[in-house]
């Protein structure tokens, strides 16, 4: 089971990958090969992170008996499902040949998707992890 510190570290890696994606799409010319590699690494990192987060945070909050933490965990779990599906759609919607044909459209969709991922990270750290740390502290004190 991952610690909150490890989950924060995974967020930093996801932010770095998102930054790399944004830097590439800021270019005037399509670099589909670079995009393909980063998208694959980002998808893998996102899936791994979400699985660890599910076990380490969501399951604990849902079992905590704390009404606020439980409600927040349910809301975030539902929202992640939507974000995960949106990321999968983004990848399938933009094969390499389409990226090369419509760089401006890909750029816009990438900026939107990376913005959603970065906003999610910020919310998790400010809300979800705060509840997880509070619940863990309460358990240690008991």
Six-digit token pair at 3? 């610690």
Per-residue pLDDT tens over the stretch 92-140: 999 999 999 999 999 999 999 999 999 999 999 999 998 888 888 887 8
Q: How many CB atoms lie within 10 A of CB 99?
A: 22
Answer yes or no: is pLDDT of 142 > 80: no
Six-digit token pair at 98? 């389409």
Q: Where are the alpha helices (DSSP H) in 54-102?
A: 59-62, 67-93, 96-101
Task: Tell me which CATH code domain 4-141 carries.
Answer: 1.20.120
Task: Express the helix, strand and coil content of the chain in percent, nearest 5 each.
Answer: 90, 0, 10
Spatial distance between the Cα atoms of 114 and 11, rounded to a whole number of angstroms:
13
pTM: 0.90
């Amino acid at each position: 089971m991952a610690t909150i510190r490890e989950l924060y570290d995974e967020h930093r890696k996801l932010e770095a990958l998102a930054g790399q994606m944004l830097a590439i799409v800021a270019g005037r010319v399509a670099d589909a090969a670079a995009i393909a590699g980063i998208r694959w690494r980002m998808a893998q990192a996102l899936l791994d992170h979400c699985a660890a987060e599910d076990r380490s945070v969501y399951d604990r909050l849902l079992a905590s008996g704390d009404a606020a933490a439980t409600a927040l965990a349910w809301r975030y779990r539902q929202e992640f499902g939507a974000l995960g599906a949106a990321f999968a759609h983004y990848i399938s919607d933009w094969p390499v040949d389409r990226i090369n044909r419509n760089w401006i459209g890909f750029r816009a969709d990438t900026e939107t998707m990376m913005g959603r991922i970065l906003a999610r990270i910020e919310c998790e750290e400010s809300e979800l992890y705060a509840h997880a740390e509070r619940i863990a502290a309460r358990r240690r004190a008991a």
